[in-house]
Amino acid sequence: MRRFIPFLLLAIPLGATAQHAKTVPSHDTHPPVQAHYKRSELHTVPLAAFIDPKMVTSDWKIKVSHVARLHGSPSKRDIDRIKFEKSAIKQEGVGTEPYSVDAVTPSVGINFLGNEMFNGTPPDNTLAISNAGKIVSCDNATMEVHDAYAQDPYLSYWVNHYDFFGSHLSPAPTGNIYDPRVIYDSGSDRFIYCILHGSSSSLSQILLCFSKTNNPMDGWWVYRLTANAAHPNLWFDYPNLGVSNNEIYISGNMFTDGGTFGGNVLFQIPKQAGYSGESLNYQWWYDVHDGNNNQAFTLVPLSHGRQGNYGPGIYLAASEVGTTNDRILLFDLTDDASATNETLNVYPINTSSYVIGGYAAQSGSSGVLDVGDTRMQNGFYYNGTVHFVHTTDIGGGWNGIRYSRIKTSDQTITSGNFGNQGQLDYAYPSVAAFSTSTTDNAAMISFLASGPGTFPHVRVVNVDNGMNWSPSTLVKAGESHVSIQGGETERWGDYSGITRKHNASSPEVWMSGCYGASTNHWNVSQGFNAWISQIVSGAPASVREMGQGTDVKVFPNPVVDIFTLDFSVPERQQVSIQLTDIQGRVVKHLFTDHVKAGVNRLSFNRGALAAGQYVLTIISNGQSITNEKIVVQ
């Protein structure tokens, strides 16, 4: 149960942590293309307010959501036509995921209810976790703060974004507040949070917040940036947020009041002043084109994937969004704003073609979910490699995940698709590092899923250093179909959130995604709630040889009702099967008897078990022959 609990931590001063250099290609062997762009002079914005979340008491819950998507990519009309046509030819079948027995299956650890939408769609889930385990989770309606490892993780419920800003900013916001992004700067031990204000050229602003300490409950320094200074007749949308050694970056797309794409913009902001509540100096880059005068759509700043930051400057990437796509644009912002010769270089990288599939079906409704397009919304940089994800047609109009790596030293790209053709559409992926060393490129990818026989739900998949996929793991099952707009097409996404816990002793990521909710405490039915989950290493995929001729398979895992354990033995023998908690305490002796040679099956109901992680152990001749981690939801 959620409780309103005051929570304070001592502030941790900013300190030096790992700073990493960019691996930049040799311009002699791999020359960049000079990007075409415009750049502003340096500007200054004063502190607008300090907001103490413990003092936010208003409860207006103001939120406006568009009934239909009013704007999108430059090719939106053609993309919508493609989605409609592909939906008509999609056929259900026996779907399978292209997983490898060598990959490690993600396991759901701590998990709990996150933000609940009280009006509108899409949710736009985003979250960040600090080294101390504090979580900031946002959707289009609210922001919440959690303590990830507490018995009751819930710390604060900020009723909605309007209430958070409305009583502290002068003049008070009058436009819609939407599209949140939050990240944790592990190099400075602080949170950064931005959100947009206004859906017109007259109101377009960015509300940019820096946490005063590493505890978001200690308050935020807030700044108001004019979002459309480069394009006074346009307004700013689809933000992305990144951080380097010395700066933060906010990118977005510009639209006319009629919804037509009109350009892009990238804000470059030295961060230290923001952590101290001082005036910010900043500049912006705009109308960024590649060498062929093609304008980049949805630039993504690529933060460092593990502890610390890199720089100077930052890498950014953009996928193509259109009816035919076969390139990725990798940008190198070469230096900080304090330099005198910083520039934007671009490396156009050819890749196999990708295009969007049809709309996603959902059980119990003729209304379909909009899968968006092929734009990149998330990525990171680690040890000379750029990682990113986006949606693509995997065949027959079914949508799946395209995951790619680019070596920055020579711009070589490696890509792979993952999906479940004939059964489920996968969309709105996000990616975080799951590496164990500087030579390991493993990643964890969260995404949304739905299909004719299932409600909208949340899943996660691992891809290892060798580009092998695990089976995907169900993180949160849907409870209902979604019917918010009441038409043929429901908005979905527009993005999910995932981040690595940077100082964890072993790989650990946290994610937030939306699922179809039967109701919530706002009494909204057939809408979206968010689910927050810790993801750790699970058992290797499929059936694995465990020694002594014993093969073991546990399914489904995670489970909501009945567990089934299949195990084979080479000869008749006595086995004992017990269930322990993650501290090693025996929860239940499930079975002790002789079993026949070959495959044996044990089933049991999870009803008596609290949600969490357990270990199934099979013992034969006094020795443990397998330990299987299981997850109870």
**β-strands 344-354, 33-34 pairing:** antiparallel
Q: What local confidence, expressed as pLDDT, does residue 532 receive?
A: 95
Mean pLDDT (10-residue bins), the chain, 633 residues: 30 56 80 88 96 72 46 78 89 85 86 85 95 95 90 73 86 91 97 95 96 95 96 95 98 92 96 97 95 89 96 96 93 94 93 96 95 95 97 96 96 96 97 94 97 95 95 92 88 95 91 92 87 82 37 68 73 80 72 75 75 78 66 75
CA distance 118 to 66: 14
Phi, psi torsion values for 78, nearest 5 degrees: -70, -40
CA distance 222 to 216: 13
Q: What local confidence, expressed as pLDDT, does residue 138 receive?
A: 95
Locate 544 and state its tokens.
């694995």
Q: List, by residue range, all CATH 2.130.10.10 domains of the chain.
A: 19-540
Look-up of token digits 């079914």: 398
Distances (CA, A) of 112 to 77, 153, 166, 516, 612: 38, 8, 29, 15, 11
β-strand partners of 450: 425
Output b/e per residue, 167-203; b: 16+ Cβ within 10 A: bbbeeebebbbbbbbbbbbbbbbbbbbbbbbbbebeb
Q: List, by residue range, all CATH 2.60.40.1930 domains of the chain.
A: 544-632
Pick among 3.40.50.920, 2.60.40.1930, 2.20.25.90, 3.30.499.10: CATH of 544-632: 2.60.40.1930
How many C-beta atoms surround the C-beta of residue 501 within 10 A?
Answer: 24
Which has the closest alpha carbon to 426: 447, 442, 454, 412? Answer: 447
Does the 19-540 domain belong in CATH 2.130.10.10? yes
Check if the beta carbon of residue 307 is closer than 8 Å to that of residue 186.
Answer: yes
Which has the closest alpha carbon to 492: 447, 525, 443, 549? Answer: 447
Q: What local confidence, expressed as pLDDT, does residue 265 receive?
A: 97
Look-up of token digits 């680690």: 382
Q: What local confidence, expressed as pLDDT, does residue 28 receive?
A: 74
Q: What local confidence, expressed as pLDDT, does residue 582 receive?
A: 61
